[in-house]
């Protein structure tokens, strides 16, 4: 059985594109922490996630850098030879489901600041 469930924070903004065949693709990069007994700092793994179709569009539209997400899917590996002759290999998660969790605190602080600025503007006489 090839099944993966991970949760972590987005390291960067989602990377959305449409392939030559018209498929929506959104790539995510997650920082996933794991704690080891006796260690002060957690281990962090950086995991690549690929989403497709409507899920890719939703991720692109609604996710932001620093947001927590939970991903369910399967592991896939790809290998290729680059133009420079180098052999490349990557393992990533092909997502079947992405749960959008907490946005970073900076997002809420900015929203509150924007709201306060809007209130100040509304108080100005015409």
Distance of CA 94 to the CA centre of its chain: 13
Decide: helix, strand or coil at residue 75: strand
Question: Residue 73 contacts by C-beta under 8 Å, 6 or more apart in sequence?
Answer: 3, 4, 49, 93, 94, 95, 96, 97
Q: What is the mean pLDDT of residues 5-22?
A: 96
d(CA 82, CA 84): 5
Q: Measured on CA atoms in the order 49, 50, 55, 58, is the torsion positive or negative? A: positive
Tens digits of residue pLDDT in 29-63: 999 998 888 888 889 999 999 999 999 999 999 99
Domains of the chain, earliest start first: 4-122 (2.40.50.140)
| Nearest in space to 48 (alpha carbons), one of 89, 94, 88, 80 | 94
Number of neighbours of residue 110 by Cβ within 10 angstroms: 11
Q: In this model, does residue 121 exceed pLDDT 60?
A: no
Q: In this model, does residue 89 exceed pLDDT 70?
A: yes
Tens digits of residue pLDDT in 61-75: 999 999 999 999 999
pTM assigned to the model: 0.78
Q: In this model, does residue 105 exceed pLDDT 90?
A: no
């Amino acid at each position: 059985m090839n099944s993966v469930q991970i949760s972590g924070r987005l390291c960067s903004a989602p990377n959305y594109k449409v392939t030559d065949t018209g498929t929506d693709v959104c790539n995510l990069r997650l920082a996933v922490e794991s704690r080891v007994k006796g260690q002060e700092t957690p281990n962090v793994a950086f995991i690549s996630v690929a989403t497709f179709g409507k899920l890719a569009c939703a991720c692109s539209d609604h996710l932001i850098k620093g947001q927590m997400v939970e991903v369910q899917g399967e592991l896939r590996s790809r290998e290729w030879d680059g133009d420079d002759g180098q052999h490349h290999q990557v393992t990533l998660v092909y997502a079947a489901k992405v749960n959008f969790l907490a946005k970073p605190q900076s997002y809420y602080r900015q929203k509150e600041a924007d709201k306060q600025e809007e209130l100040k503007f509304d108080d100005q006489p015409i």
